[in-house]
Structure 1
Amino acid sequence: MNAASPAPRRPRVRAPELVGKGGWINTGGKNLTLADLRGKCVVVDFWTFCCVNCLHVLDELRELEEKHRDTVVIIGVHSPKFVHEADHQAVVDAVERYEVHHPVLDDPELATWKQYAVRAWPTLVVIDPEGYVVAQHAGEGHAHALAALVEELETEHAAKGTLRRGDGPYVAPEPEATDLRFPGKAVVLPTGRFLVSDSTRHQLVELEADGETVVRRIGTGERGFGPESFSEPQGLALLPDGKVLVADTVNHALRTYDPETGVISTVAGTGRQWMQGQPTSGPAREVALSSPWDVAWWADRVWIAMAGVHQLWTYDPATGTVAVAAGTTNEGLVDGPADEAWFAQPSGLAAAGDRLWLADSETSALRYVERDGDGFAVRTAVGTGLFDFGHRDGDAAQALFQHPLGVTALPDGSVAVSDTYNHALRRYDPATGEVTTLATDLREPSDAVLVGDDIVVVESARHRLTRLRLPEEAVRVEAVAHRTQRAATDIAPGRLQLDVVFQAPAGQKLDTRYGPSTRLLVSATPPELLAEGSGAGTDLARELVLADGVTEGVLHVSAMAASCDDDPENEYPACHMHQQDWGVPVRVVAGGAERLPLVLAGLA
């Protein structure tokens, strides 16, 4: 079967129950069942808070959630990748941090994930008012299709008398009074004061040199893209002209703030998220960005950690232009020439002489960019890939971090790493190749800045700045190593049929006006797992050949499909991009599956 053809009609499938040992959040203490949701259109969002694509989907769902508040219930099922994400309080924090205004089931053991046969973050499952699964979508870019499906379900079930209108089960938590709320990044101003991105409150906050006394708040405090509004700002960098550049993350924009005049200006981005096929260079205000997470001044321009597309971009204030500087948009850890490198949610930057250090969060890696002839190259100092993480000191070849979000250049040439999910501040010394631990018992540190002989850490989940004296000796920590725990798929040796299932949503068709509208990229860890079938192509179906002697590994699959509204009367139909990356753990065994279906949109 051609994977892009319409899926065959299948028997109705009753939705499995929603269960998870972590319990429910945003319900006022009530445990929900599917019976409690009968009569509503239910969208189940399988997410994890480390995943930037999941955060994109949270933002995509906000309009649907507001417009159909009396008929639609969104249920988040938090399904962790990292060990830290299985901590219930960390999930509670994330729900507040990202303003999740619907019930969330904490499923630390992936029980509901398995019942729904989910294979990737994020995945959306739609359940009709009678309790049957009617659609599944992996990845982001499905908001338009979901809105159309919800309207169909509302019409159908209103006519049948099975639609129940009224308030949903969401119960807002009590707000807590703190000066900062999940701060992201900080910078020291020429005055000695701190400027902090107060991410959850959509503001910048200027603090006195003590790191505690609030001088002023910048921004309205309401999510928005107005002249004085931000949306979850993160990275900050001082520019040569004295202004502060702000990575306005969820507005997909760069803004400047002038500490002298208080003026906020937009210098890059359109306010909308970049999608595959759109321009990647040009006038900065005309090119879309995607979740810029941090910024740094290096090599005579601003470098941008573009977490949303796994790349580094640059912004040149002199010419008012942006451009891709490194990365292919493929997610992973691949070094080499900048235009061939792979990243995975780069989230922290620090300039240090001839190197630009970066925290590559999803690979739990410390990496850097350096000049290479007339261009740039990417190298890895610590880290091995998407699925290995932990807290282990020692030689860099075997040291481990867990989802670091910040890096800080130290005076002796070493680098401090805000090792976020290990609640620690770590140090890498390029001279010795050793990783040590500087401090523990922090709470989700996301950045740090130097002030004299002290280092001031942004303790994001403690909502404060914490001043530490740089220790002469490292802290001793017992080594712990982890690997992402997900059930492996048993596959048969020899040939494996890979099908990415994509069914264009109702009212849409594949966009073939400019050539193939689909893309498929396949690779493996270890690379020796695949004897044939790796690489890029346009067909969503591919036969893979597994190598003899390799019994387990991870298949990395990246798929994209473009669809447009199917309206012959509209000369300029709206087009929609659907994309997703999968990392599928596999085990090669006799009698295993000979076909691996992955749902991009439709039902497998």
Structure 2
Amino acid sequence: MTTTPSLRSRARVRAPELVGRRWLNTGGRDLSLADLRGRVVVLDFWTFCCVNCLHVFDELRPVEARFPEELVVVGVHSPKFEHEGEPAAVEAAVERYAVHHPVLDDPQLVTWGAYAARAWPTLVVVDPEGYVVASLSGEGHGPGLVSLVEELLEEHRAKGTLRSGDSPYVAPEPHPGALSFPGKVVALDDGSFLVTDTAHHEVVWLEADIETERRRWGGEGVLAEPQGLLLLPEAERERLGYDVLVADSVHHRVVALSLTDDEVRVVAGTGEQLRERSGGGPALDQALSTPWDLAWWEGRVVVAMAGVHQLWELRLDPDPSASTVAVLAGTTQEGIRDGAAATAWFAQPSGLAVGTDGRLWLADSESSALRSLTRGDDGDVTVVTHVGTGLFDFGHRDGSGHGPLGSEEVGDALLQHPLGVTVLPDGSVAVSDTYNGAVRRFDPVTNQVTTLATGLLEPSDAAVETDAETGEARLVVVESASHRLVRVAVPAQAQRVDGGAHRVQRPPTDLAPGEVELTVAFTPPAGQELDDRYGDPTRLVVSSTPPSLLLEGEGSATGLTRRLRLAEGIATGTLHVSVQAAACDADAEHAACHLFQQDWGIPLRLTADGPSTLALDLRGV
């Protein structure tokens, strides 16, 4: 069994200074570590595209509330996508996600590099004397963080190096307006619309003028950052007794609304976040993880489960206790892998729509990809990528999509973190290309991507409507960062744009080709121990892009170390590492168990004089 060592025995490493473009949530004041001396500081390295980072916000809030005078949380926003480096976009994200602590804007990843962060999210704990005492990757660290802070407070209270004080947080001016960062929209039969008013935690029914309100549902405590909407088929509405489903993302639930009353009914999810692999079960007894969108496909509801990089299916019954959920596609591994649904990889699926040919279209946001699912005559579901190459490539470029499944033909079209897909009357797909501020169009017949509209602020979804006078189709687009819906024409001849290609700008990790020893550090929190009652409670999954980079060491196995062999003659690539470790409360009659997990995508540069070891922290202290 592994236990947490005494803090006094750890090597003392001075925390680097906090350097960035500017500070947010401080009333215009710049902060330094010297300003925070005497208190425990938790640095939260995040980027606003990352669903796991959003989970960490929820984990940190009770920790901040528990130690209001002795603990300071500082967000360090270190962007992945180009759009995430824009000052206005960072400000909007801090407001959108109700970040109530100081945030350092770190667009050049200066502080990220100084603390050797390799993944979003990463937490670094600094003690009251200014020394780094822990680095924690991924999510699920809330309880362990509480015990670590308590240990530090006890130690530094005894040493006389602890001081209390008011938080340096200064609340910004709130955004006025009827909507606040709306997420998704659905058109109703009478020409009106439903929209998720995400930051107000409500669903709003708007008249056809997309401004006049007819009704609201939810509110804080009832819904939490609702996203996707689904108007059920008429026969299903009659069978079930409700009309609309809502992806209640932060509550990790799917709920139902009737257009004739104010009730919000839970139809799937326990309210707890899914933290381990599951095959599904009774819908009301199964934890979910950040459901982001919904679609009706082949007689069941498909749920884009952004938090675990999967698609699930929900089979509804008039008796809610008889409804069931199950995994439809995805392994929980983050990335792009096509083929059989059971072995496919997704990356934060965020938008769903069903095509006129029965195909299920998917906006896979973290890989900047447009993908689809089809069911063959044999009943098997196949996943195909049409646009997008991986977690680190993006841009605004019109052009061709990929060749058919199994082809090595890679198209030149690029997207940047799309959140929505909408099927147009001709069977083509409008993509809400969120971080490019554009609506794009993919034509599956010609395999071409073009641009319908630009100059939008984070469009996240769209619905089709038909002009009553002209009969022409147009889009009602959710312009999320402008807090409104707007109408966009669908031109017969789409624009063509080449805004260039981009890659995530993170410093690569140097390694030598040949044998490399990979180790993942994991020290359970105080009072917990590795749960080895049923064997080794760890799992390590390793792969690479390109696949030829990794000659040995690929695959899944127990243990937190792995001997790899990297190919000669390949200059750069990406190493994908996924890890899980289970720990349980020690010396407890009814011990609670906790799953710790993280995915890394580590850009590599292979050089002869590089190191032959790679050390990662799942929970290193």
Using structure 1 for the length normalisation, give the TM-score.
0.96
- Tell me the CA shift for residue 439 of structure 1: 0.3
Task: Identify the residue that residue 596 of structure 2 maps to in structure 1.
Answer: 578
1:336 to 336, 339, 348: 339
Q: Which residue of 1 aligns with 2:407?
A: none
How many angstroms apart in 1 are the aligned matches of 2:80 and 2:333? 19
The secondary structure found in structure 2 opposite 1:425 is strand
Q: Which residue does the alignment assign to 2:15?
A: 15
- Does the 8 A contact of 2:439 with 2:452 survive in 1? yes
8 A contact 2:2–2:530 mirrored in 1:
no
SS state of the match for residue 479, structure 1?
strand
Q: Deviations over 1:487-531 (max 9, x none)?
A: 111111211110011111111110111222100000000000011
* One-letter code aligned to 2:416: Q
> Superposition pairs for residues 380-529 of structure 1, below 5 Å?
380-396=385-401, 397-452=411-466, 453-529=473-549
Distance of 2:501 and 2:301 partners within structure 1: 35
Alignment of 1:234 onto 2:238: no
> Which runs of structure 1 show a deviation greater than 3 angstroms over 4 or more consecutive aligned residues?
2-10
Whether contact under 8 Å (1:3, 1:500) holds in the other structure is: no
> How big is the shift at 1:140?
0.5
Displacement of 1:118 after TM fit?
0.7
Query: Using the alignment, how far apart are the partners of 1:262 and 1:246 within structure 2?
Result: 14
Q: Summarize the Cα distance change of 1:417–1:80 in structure 2 as closer, same or farther, 3 Å threshold.
A: same
Cα separation, 2, equivalents of 1:506 and 1:65:
19
Q: 1:378 maps to which residue?
A: 383
How far residue 375 of structure 1 moved from its aligned partner, in angstroms, is: 2.2
CA contact (8 A) 2:3 2:529 kept: no
Q: State the alpha-carbon separation in 1 of the partners of residues 520 and 6 from structure 2.
A: 12
Aligned partners of 2:225 and 2:249 also within 8 Å: yes
Q: How does 1:17-96 map to 2 (within 5 A)?
A: 17-21=17-21, 23-96=22-95
Q: Which amino acid aligns with 2:465?
A: V
Q: Is the 8 A contact 2:79 2:107 kept in 1?
A: yes
Of 362, 367, 378, which aligns to 2:371? Answer: 367
Structure 2: how far apart are the matches of 1:24 and 1:190? 47
Distance of 2:2 and 2:182 partners within structure 1: 44
Find the aligned partners of 1:175 and 1:380 in 2 and give their Cα distance: 40
Q: Percent of counterpart pairs with the same letter?
A: 61
- Please say if 1:213 is aligned against 2:206: no
CA drift of 1:260 comes to 1.1
Residues 10 and 133, structure 2, Cα contact 8 Å, conserved in 1:
no
1:418 counterpart letter in structure 2: S
Q: Which stretch has the larger CA shift, 9-18 or 405-414?
A: 9-18
CA RMSD of aligned residues (A): 1.5
Partner of 2:245: 245
CA distance in 2, matches of 1:19, 1:105: 8
Structure 1 unaligned regions, length at least 5: none
- Determine which of 517, 528, 553 is the counterpart of 1:533: 553
The alignment partner of 1:85 has SS state of helix
In 1: Cα distance, 2:590 partner to 2:175 partner: 48
Tell me if structure 1 keeps the 8 A contact 2:3–2:525.
no
Residue type at the aligned position of 1:332: G
Match of 2:579 in 1: 559
Alpha-carbon shift at residue 295 of structure 1 (Å): 0.4
Alignment of 1:269-284 (within 5 A): 269-277=269-277, 279-284=278-283
Distance 1:497 1:583 in 2: 17
Letter of the 1:345 counterpart: Q
Shift of 1:483: 0.8
For residues 66-94 of structure 1, the C-alpha deviation after alignment (integer angstroms, 9 at most, x for no partner) is 12111111000001110001111101100
Distance in 1 between residues matched to 2:363 and 2:156, nearest whole Å: 49
1:358 alignment partner in structure 2? 362
For 2:429 and 2:5, the matched residues in 1 are separated by 52
The equivalent of 1:189 in structure 2 is 188
Q: Which residue of structure 1 lines up, in the alignment, with residue 569 of structure 2?
A: 549
Contact (CA 8 Å) 1:179, 1:214: kept in 2 or not? no
One-letter amino acid matched to 1:400? L
Report how far residue 6 of structure 1 moved: 7.0
